[in-house]
Chain A
Amino acid sequence: GQSLEQPSEVTAVEGAIVQINCTYQTSGFYGLSWYQQHDGGAPTFLSYNALDGLEETGRFSSFLSRSDSYGYLLLQELQMKDSASYFCDVEGLTGGGNKLTFGTGTQLKVEL
């Protein structure tokens, strides 16, 4: 089967840098995605890594190490509006086709 682990909660101050880790177990790995969800809102896509290394999109970066089955989301210059839940999502191959599994989410609290 597939499983993911990420911390349940992270707290940081405005302007700081925070890293949210995600470790996974899956067969036939295709890629790791990150989604952001504000309270009461729908998850929205942030980034996708299929290959090892760092992908940068503005203040957000995502890293993948396939050999370590590990990835992280890096948020720089934190702003209050970054307070949200962040989910990692792994695409792997199980049974008859691609299977997607979301982590349980990391609640990020940004404080003044």
Chain B
Amino acid sequence: DVKVTQSSRYLVKRTGEKVFLECVQDMDHENMFWYRQDPGLGLRLIYFSYDVKMKEKGDIPEGYSVSREKKERFSLILESASTNQTSMYLCASSYNPGGIQYFGAGTRLSVL
């Protein structure tokens, strides 16, 4: 079974802090994705990566950056957290760019 592991289930940070959200997949997938999920807005793509050291902006990249130094790991970085970044963050991976996505359990981030 594909396993996508997000480092934290719940996270509380203060405004202005630098925040790292980590995601690891164990199926050697080329493609990895970061989404945020907010009530009524569904899943919105922040960034995705088709290969190591490669990244592409999604629909809402402002305020975020990503890092993909190794194939299995995709990190989402909030350089200076703000209250409007309080959300559920979901990581996913897939074998093909448009293929089945396997999601992690999510990280609920609260920025105070």
Contacts and interface: CB of A to CB of B under 8 A. Distances in A.
Contacts of A97: 50, 56, 97
A109 B90 CA distance: 23
Interface residues of A, number: 23
Contacts of A48: 100
A98 B97 CA distance: 7
Contacts of A96: 56
Interface stretch (A38-46, A52-60, A64-72): A38-46
Contacts of B106: 42
Interface string B36-64: 00001111110010100000100100000
Interface of A: 8, 30-31, 33, 35, 41-45, 48, 87, 89, 91, 96-98, 100-105
